[in-house]
Structure 1
Amino acid sequence: MPVERWGDEGLRDLQYLLPAALRAEPQSPPMAVSDGTELPVSPVSPELGHAVGISPGFNSVLHMVRRVAPTNATVLFLGESGVGKEVFARMLHRMSARNNKPFVAVNCAAIPEQLMESELFGAERGAYTGATQSRIGRFERANGGTLFLDEIGTLSSGAQGNLLRALQEGEIERLGDTQTRHVDVRVIAATNVDLREEVAAGRFREDLFFRLNVFPIRIVPLRERREDIPLLLMHFLAKFNQLHNQRLSGFTQRAVDAVMSYHWPGNIRELENVVERGVILSTGNTAIDAPQLFTSGEQFYSKQYTVGSQGGLVKADPAQLLCTEKNDEAERISRTVSSLVLGEDEPQSGASLDEVETFMLKKALERANGNVAAAARILGITRPQMVYRLKSRNITHHAQ
C-alpha cells in the first residue's frame, strides 16, 4: 500500500521509522570524527534526558509508548539493567494527560525492607520508633500524576499486598493509621528479572504480577540495537562537553570501531559512563580516541572480520584498537613516509629507514598469520630475502 493511503495516524508513525536525515525537519550538520567519518548529531538537547535512537528495536518501544501514553493503563517495562527503562517511563509521562502533574520515581531496591511501606504509603506520627510527625508517602506525592516503581521484583511480600490493593481499589493506608485515602495515581513499573520465574519460585505474588502486566514493553539491550550507538555517542558527547566545559570535536575512527565492537553488558548506562570518561581524559579541541574510552579492563570477547588490502576478509581483534604503542608507532612511520612521498614538511619525530623496514616486516607477518612465504609476497620479495631480514632483526615468527 502506498504511503499516501496510510492516513494521518500512519503518517505520524512513519516519522519514528525514518532517520532524521529523511524527515522533513531541520537538523544540525553532522559531527565528524577526526579522519572524516561522520557521526549523526542527536536531534535532542542533551539536558532533556529524552530517549535517543533510530534502530527498529528503539522505534518499536517508542511506538508502544506512544500507543499507551494517552490511556491510564499500568505499564511494565522489562529489560536488562541500564537499557533506559526510567528514561522511557519519563517520556511516557510527558506524553500522557498527566504531564502537568508530578512524576515520582522510586528505586525499590534502594529502600530497606522495613522502610518500604512507610516510603510508599506514608506513616502517621508514632507509627514506629523515630516517627515524630506524620509523613506522606510516594503514592500521595504522585497523586494525579505518575508513580514509577523501578526494580519492583525486590518488594517484600507485605509491600506487594498493599501495592495490589492500591492498584485495584485506588486506596492506601498510612502506616499506623486507620483512615483510608483515595489516590489517583498511574503506576509504571520496571524490572530486570523474569517476574514469571519469581512467581513460580514463590517470591512474587501472582495476582500482583497479572495486575502489573497489563501493558508490558520489553526494551532490547544495546548490543541488539547497535544502530543507536552513533547517535548516543554524539548525544552524550554534547552532554558532557557542556557539563565539563570541554570542546571535544568527536571520536576517532578506531574509537568508533572499538565502541561498535564492544558487547556493552551495562547497556546505555555503561556507554554514558565510558563517553564521560573519554571527555575527562581528552584535552583541547581534539577527537576522543579508543584508549581514552576503555580504561577499566573492559573485555572484547567477539572476534571481528575486516576487509584486507587484497579485498578479502581477514580476522581482526577489537582489543588491538586499544593498544596505544603500536598505533603511535604506525602513526609516526606513516607521517615519515607521507612527508617523503608527498613532499610534506618533515615531521618533528620522524622514523629511521631501519624502523620503517622493521615495522613493515612485522606487519606483513601479522597480515599473513605468520606465513613467511605469504609475507614475502606481500612485500614483493623472495622467501630467502624475507628470512634473512627477519633473522638480522631477531624477529620471531610462528605460522598460525
Structure 2
Amino acid sequence: MKVAFSTLGCRVNQYESEAMTEKFLRENYEVVSYDSFADVYVINTCTVTNMGDKKSRQMISRARRQNPDAIIAVVGCYSQIAPDEVSQIAGVDVVLGTRNKGDIIYWVNRAREERAQMIEVNDVLRNNVFEELNIEEYQTKTRAFLKIQDGCNRFCSYCLIPFARGAVCSKKPEKVMEEVKELAKNGFKEIILSGIHTASYGVDLEGRITLVDLLEAIDKIEGIERIRIGSIDPTFFTDGVIDRIVNLKKLCPHFHLSLQSGCDETLKRMNRHYKSGDYKEVVEALRQHIPDVSITTDIIVGFPGETEEEFNATYEFLKDIKLSKMHIFKFSPRKGTRAAEMKSQVNGEVKDDRSNKLIALSSKNETEFMGRFLGSEMKVLYEQIHNGKTNSFEGYTPNYIKVVSEACKDIEGEILNTKLFTAEQEFILGKIN
C-alpha cells in the first residue's frame, strides 16, 4: 500500500504530517510523492487565507485524477472550520479536524472497509488537551520540527485559527525533553520549536512553566547544537526574557516576530496586543544584545479601513527598522471573522500596489542584510543538495542566511565553517574551510 501527503500552511502542520507519516510507515505503507499513484492521499489543510482553502481543494482534485479508487483523507484547519463543505467535495472519503490526526489510520481503514465517508471533527473550543503526536523517526536527518503548543487565545479580528485550533494547550515539559533527547540520539543537530501561538507555551500548565524555562532546559541537552523558535509574538520579548536568552549557547539569533502592520490604528482594528512603538523597542533591544540577529516578519496589506495614510505609516515604519525579510500578504476576508464584516474593504488593485511596494522594500532590506556578512566566516548546517547538483549543497547560518557551497562528498547534516563571498538573489555562495 502506498500513501502520499500534501501539507499546506505552517510548521505545526509540517510536524503533524511527519507524525502521521510515521503512523503509516508502521503499518507497512510506502510513502510516495504526491504526484505519484497512491492508495491513500492525505491533504493536511490550511485555512489562514482563502488561497489556503483553494489550494486544499486543488490537491483533492489532483489526488482523485491520479487514482479514482484511492482513499482521500482531508485533515486540519480547513476541514475543522468547514467540515460540511469539505465532505461535499467529490471524492473525499475521510474528514478529520485539527485534534484527530493521531487516529488517521483507524479512519482510513474504516472508510475502506465500510465503503462509506467518515467524518470526525470535534469541537476544539471545548477541548484544551494537547494531542500527543510524537515522532520517533524523521524522514530527514538535518533539523526537526517539534510541536510544543497548540491553540490560540488572542482572537485577532482577521483570523480563524482560534476557531480551528481551540484554546492554548501545551505539551508537558517532560514530554518535550524526552522527544528532544530522542532527536539528539538520532543524530539531529537542530530543532525548531513550533506552535500556533508559541509565546503562550505553559500558560495552561501547573507551575506556570514558560517558554524561556523550556529553552533553558533544552539548551543543556547534549547532541542538539541549534535551537530555533517558530513565529513568535513580539510581546514575548520582555527585558527579563532577553536577559535570559542571551545566555543560551544554542538558541539561533533569528526570530520571526509577527507584526502585521506598522500603523497603530490598523493594529487596533486587527486586535493586535501591541503598538508599533512596542515592536520597535523589542527589535532595538534584540539588536543591542544580539548584534548578528536576523528579524523577519509578516505584514498584511489592504486590511479593512487601511487608508493611504495608514499604509504610508506602515511603509515608513518598515523602512526605518529595516527587518531582514518580510512576508507580505494581501488581506483575505475570512467568513466568520470580524474583519470580514468591517466596512471600507480595500480595492484589489490597491492591495496589489501596496503589496508590490513592500515586496520591493523587503528585497532591498534582505540584500543589505546579507551584504553585512560577505567576507565573514560562519557555521552552516547543510541540509540538502542544491538544484539537483550532487556536488552543491545548501544550508543555513545560525541567523538564517541561506548559503550554497560546493563539496566533494555528501555533507548533509554537517555543520561546517564556511566563508561567505558572493551574494546571489536569495542566497550567498560560500566556500567550506
Provide the TM-score with structure 1 as the length reference: 0.22
Does 1 or 2 have the higher relative contact order (CA < 8 Å, sep 6+)? 1
Larger relative helix fraction: 1
TM-score by length of 2: 0.21
In terms of fraction of residues, the more strand-rich structure is: 2
The structure with the larger Rg is 1
